[in-house]
Structure 1
């Protein structure tokens, strides 16, 4: 059956199995909340009424600044049910970043926790607080839900109505807002459920931050589509990941290679070999040793994939059955067509490196657009082909795709995209800095280590720690360079462009 909206899909599942356990949520203190499909829907509709009473209408943006948990899930589905637009953000982002995201997204209301209140105190927007605290100063989200009546009538929505804006670091100095529709969420739910063989007996485990597409695209939506259940932990713990999967009875997980490496670095508990996990999907390659060690220790299948916020579902993945080479990013998946292209947009010959381009319909199988950025949208989506900016090659014998490198100046640390230009812009704001160049080098645990090379203004003095403190106040933790290097000059091309590849040899 085809569904028009996410709310309609939830209603169908509630009708089929109202008492089935849908959510199992473990917070940072180890407390567990359990909700059936019907209980969750009632909470969602009560929150929808609260939002409506606070003036939220179709198309209005609501910014979520929440950790993984019950409040995030209820807010996500309540926002979509009334045709508003969810804007999820990283709780690690400092006030400076949040100023841009709140302003650019045109958010009318913020749902957050009391400990993050200071970030938003100057915005003049209504704040709803989850886990308000003992002083109860502010509007308490859970209390408002408790006393509300479920919304009587939901607005009429269409599959093409906007549902979310997910901000992702690009190659410019500011994040770009990926606009998703109701249909985008339904598409990834259906395609990922079928690709990963989800059944109603599965329970997905979400430990990665849900402001990312990963937990939404690959875990939550396909679980809902299949009538399965969802286990959520407030944060990732390398020590407890497998123990949590046992405790919460999870069968499918999703990680990046960095968390997998962190798990492998911890002392091994032989009892963890007995766990309910049947599959863990992941991004970024593992070595043969890491891959074999994880599978042997935990007796679970691992499958590498390739996707990005803009592609919605996964365009490339190793099949659950008949794995050929775990180092590859697999073959075409989820009904997508993938072509590798050269700098002129022409398809490259098999075996040659080219940019990954994915065919899809904007607002249906790929993102609708970048919010308020038509130039970036036109550059990324050309004749329904989404240009990813990532390079790969195809093995002539097997037809498998292999990731090569990022086409543009991007870095990735612990699964988080980082634009060098964004970090450089912050460093360059310091009045003692003349110019900076940010690069990355491979890191055995965190994927990449970030290094900043800095030229100071004449006669100015600045220590590495002083500049790092400057960055910490203005950037999310994962974007702060691991090391600062002062230098007198940069290697450059004949036209003055900094040769960052040469600088990597300096590390």
Structure 2
């Protein structure tokens, strides 16, 4: 039997009536505050209404809203009932919603008012669709207290981005949530005085795992915005008084490029900002100088739940490294045959631990994919990393993003790093496409910094001076922006589809 879950953690801190849990900033800049005690009442009221709608333990509740307090009401309400929350991207199309509903076996769908039509157009008549605003209006303001017994087993089904196939539902348990919250709170020293700035989508693991759950463990609070805004982030970092924040590299670059520097940018209470994915040293230095907060890189996946690697939150952190193994996390780096590789040699990252506690339980209704994911008692990430002599890890690339060029393996991330160092480049994405002579040709898609207009030939010359010949792109495409998932990951599948034929090789 579980000893705690997200709702139990919430109630532990509700004894102090005024302790803040959530500060919400809506799209018009209006803020509202919710205490732990108020959040407990909202969760219980939501659970009572869902119970009236026939939701019981084990039922799947599809949740499709933007960042808003009611997302958390449903998240905690499902924990009260033992129902499974299925949080999804509010930008999902009707076809994508149909897949989510069918795959998860949802019986109820809760959506923003403007999204209910999308859910209904998925054509699943057996699924009850609830308008989240109507749910709030109908739930009891003073719900009856419940003798909550901490839940165990599956708490959520979270869908992967699905850039190469239909998204898979990752099974995340109550034990997973508590484990990651405890680990992150301990590593970052989160206390009741801390407040997370959450601008990334709540339906994503980053916001739930690292921010929400560590705040619940420590009794801290969350400053939630309705969406990420590059121009608004500096103001949110000042006005909402967070001490912690989490971003991906792409939003960091957007903030630096689109939000004009202001002398008051550093007038904030931030003590650190987590980030994932690569930044150049120049970008990281500019961010830290401008906002006065150290950047701490980490690595994690929806499936790993607990991030295997996190940098130390002190002067020993490194911008170019994904960090050291988090205490209690087992890792291996292996070759294609499963043998350990020596320090400095890239290999696939495997993560150890108990499924359903340390790592995700698997994929919903996909036994073959689950067996492959957890083969041999280790979670296979599909990511290539290398370790140095001190055990510090460096991300190399997704295994599928390695480009085979005339018999040589080229890491797309290595080419991206070189291109990103050009003073006129904001960011780039590199991928391979089939080439009848050289296996694959290398294509670089480049977004310039505002006010700059680099020519492809200029960028190719830059690469030739810094990369071995076989690593130099065959084609450079200068564009206004890169296609992304909702959390900022670059859609390389979209980029590949745009290039219909091999480019002429560079000389």
TM-score normalised by structure 1 residue count = 0.79
Structure 1 residues 343 and 14: alpha-carbon distance in aligned structure 2, compared to 1, 3 A threshold: same
Provide the residue aligned with 1:40 in structure 2.
Answer: 39
Q: Work out the CA distance in 1 between the residues paired with 2:204 and 2:304.
A: 13
Q: Is residue 385 from structure 1 mapped to residue 378 from structure 2 by the alignment?
A: yes
- Conservation of the 8 A alpha-carbon contact between 1:395 and 1:401: yes
- Conservation of the 8 A alpha-carbon contact between 2:178 and 2:213: yes
The one of 223, 242, 245 equivalent to 2:237 is: 245
Q: Work out the CA distance in 1 between the residues paired with 2:504 and 2:369.
A: 29
SS at match of 1:14: coil
SS at match of 2:14: helix
Provide the residue aligned with 1:195 in structure 2.
Answer: 187
Structure 1 residues 44 and 356: alpha-carbon distance in aligned structure 2, compared to 1, 3 A threshold: same
Structure 1 residues 439 and 28: alpha-carbon distance in aligned structure 2, compared to 1, 3 A threshold: farther
For each residue in 1:196-220, what CA deviation from the matched residue of structure 2 results, as whole angstroms up to 9, or x when unmatched?
1101100001000111100000101
Structure 1 residues 483 and 311: alpha-carbon distance in aligned structure 2, compared to 1, 3 A threshold: closer
Structure 1 residues 504 and 269: alpha-carbon distance in aligned structure 2, compared to 1, 3 A threshold: farther
Provide the residue aligned with 2:494 in structure 1.
Answer: 481
- Written as runs of structure 1 = structure 2, the 5 A alignment for 1:310-459 is 310-396=303-389, 398-408=390-400, 441=444, 443=446
Provide the residue aligned with 2:116 in structure 1.
Answer: 117
Structure 1 residues 39 and 481: alpha-carbon distance in aligned structure 2, compared to 1, 3 A threshold: same
Displacement after TM superposition at 1:443 (Å) = 4.4
Displacement after TM superposition at 1:346 (Å) = 1.4
Q: Work out the CA distance in 2 between the residues paired with 1:486 and 1:353.
A: 29
Q: Structure 2: where are the runs of 5+ without partners?
A: 403-411, 417-428, 432-439, 450-482
Q: Work out the CA distance in 2 between the residues paired with 1:31 and 1:114.
A: 20
Structure 1 residues 325 and 142: alpha-carbon distance in aligned structure 2, compared to 1, 3 A threshold: same
Q: Work out the CA distance in 1 between the residues paired with 2:190 and 2:443.
A: 37
Displacement after TM superposition at 1:444 (Å) = 5.1
SS at match of 1:39: helix
- Conservation of the 8 A alpha-carbon contact between 1:262 and 1:445: no
The one of 127, 130, 140 equivalent to 1:128 is: 130
SS at match of 2:264: helix
SS at match of 2:217: helix
Q: Work out the CA distance in 2 between the residues paired with 1:438 and 1:32.
A: 51
Provide the residue aligned with 1:467 in structure 2.
Answer: none
- Conservation of the 8 A alpha-carbon contact between 1:6 and 1:81: no
Greater relative CO (CA pairs within 8 A, separation 6+)? 1
Q: Work out the CA distance in 2 between the residues paired with 1:324 and 1:30.
A: 34
Q: Is residue 275 from structure 1 mapped to residue 282 from structure 2 by the alignment?
A: no
Q: Work out the CA distance in 2 between the residues paired with 1:326 and 1:5.
A: 34
Provide the residue aligned with 1:229 in structure 2.
Answer: 221
Q: Work out the CA distance in 2 between the residues paired with 1:385 and 1:477.
A: 25
Q: CA RMSD in A?
A: 2.9
The one of 161, 166, 169 equivalent to 1:174 is: 166
Q: Is residue 186 from structure 1 mapped to residue 178 from structure 2 by the alignment?
A: yes
Structure 1 residues 445 and 332: alpha-carbon distance in aligned structure 2, compared to 1, 3 A threshold: farther
Q: Work out the CA distance in 1 between the residues paired with 2:161 and 2:225.
A: 25
Q: Work out the CA distance in 2 between the residues paired with 1:505 and 1:238.
A: 37
Aligned residues: 432
Displacement after TM superposition at 1:5 (Å) = 2.0
Q: Work out the CA distance in 2 between the residues paired with 1:278 and 1:142.
A: 35
- Conservation of the 8 A alpha-carbon contact between 2:198 and 2:211: yes
TM-score normalised by structure 2 residue count = 0.79
Provide the residue aligned with 2:8 in structure 1.
Answer: 8
Q: Is residue 210 from structure 1 mapped to residue 202 from structure 2 by the alignment?
A: yes
- Conservation of the 8 A alpha-carbon contact between 1:205 and 1:250: yes
Q: Work out the CA distance in 2 between the residues paired with 1:151 and 1:439.
A: 62
Structure 1 residues 167 and 505: alpha-carbon distance in aligned structure 2, compared to 1, 3 A threshold: farther
